[in-house]
Each structure stands twice: as C-alpha cells, then as structure tokens.
Amino acid sequence: MENPYAPPSVDVSLNPVLDSEAEQIRKEHLKHEASIKGIGTLYILTAIIVVCGVLFMSFAFWSAGESPDSASPVGLVIILLLLGGLGVFHFMVGRGLRQLAPWSRVPTIVLSSIGLLGFPFGTIINGYFLYLVASQKGSMILSERYREIVRLTPHIKYRTSIVVWILLGILLLAVALIIGVAVTTR
C-alpha cells in the first residue's frame, strides 16, 4: 500500500533546474535589488524637487522684472536650463534604476561619484550608492540576465519589515509635529 501523504515521485515542475536556479539567485539578491530600486526612488524625488525649484525660480524671475542690480538674464536662463536638465537626467536614471535597466548603472556611478563631494552626508550616502551599484551583486542586478530572472520569478517579492514601517510612521509624525510647531509659533 502506498503512502497517500508522501510527496509525488514524479517531477511536476515545468522546468525544475531553471526555476530553482532563478529563484535561488533572486532570493540571494532580493535585498540588494530593493536597495537599488530605493536609489531610483530617491533620484526621482530629487528630480521632482529640482524641476519644481527651477519652475519656481523661473516664475519668480519673470514676474519680478529686471532691475539694474540683478544678474545677467542670459546667465540666469543658462543656470535654470542646466538645473532643469540635471533634474530630467536624475529622473531618467531613477526610472532606469527602478526598472533595473542595465544602462542606468554607469550614470548612477557618475552621479554618485559627483555626490561624494557633498561632505559629510553626501559622502556617506553616495558612497553607499556606489557600493550598491558597483559591487558584484549590483552589476548582477543591473544586467539583462537578472532582468530575465525577475521575469521568471514574479511571485518573489521583497517584503518590508514591520519595524521599518513603524519607524517611518514615527519619522513622518515627528516631521509633521515640527512643521506644526514652526507654523503655530509665528
């Protein structure tokens, strides 16, 4: 008599070698993948802030009119265009990182290398970005092979710890309280 609770003796998976290898690689790189996607999110937020700042500065410049003491309008326009271009570039690189596009690796390394000059916080943050993108895991994650692995393993998702969500909630509450106190004391 056969044991009805025994696992099947026949291989029932569609492609056992590929599935298990892809799942194993994805699970090994999942936290690193989430961190790289987080860099992409930060780059997109940076782009939004820069572009909004450029729009605000443009509006302020043109609504104020020219005064004899102001800087050259041509120089200001060039600066605004450069900042706007930098914002758009950050957005494109951030989107590429969110999609794990291989082309986004080199621009991220360049932007992070420039960001190292922002001592002390820029050095720490961009040093970490460089580690994430330029490491062996980073180069694997930002490759076509890994994109195929992600396509084969859509059921594997990164789950953020409840502790992180609680800390984020506390941080947002603290920021809201600081803003509330600053507004009410004026």
- Quick: pLDDT tens for 2-15: 887 777 766 555 55
pLDDT digits (tens, 9 = 90+) for 8-40: 766 555 555 455 799 999 999 999 999 999 999
Domain ranges of the chain: 16-160
Angle subtended at Cα 95 by Cα 89 and Cα 97, rounded to the nearest 5 degrees: 105
Question: Can you tell me the distance from the alpha carbon of 102 to that of 96, in angstroms, rounded to the nearest whole number?
Answer: 8
Question: Can you tell me the distance from the alpha carbon of 82 to that of 76, in angstroms, rounded to the nearest whole number?
Answer: 10
Given a cut of 70, the residues of the chain with pLDDT beneath it are 1, 9-19, 66-71
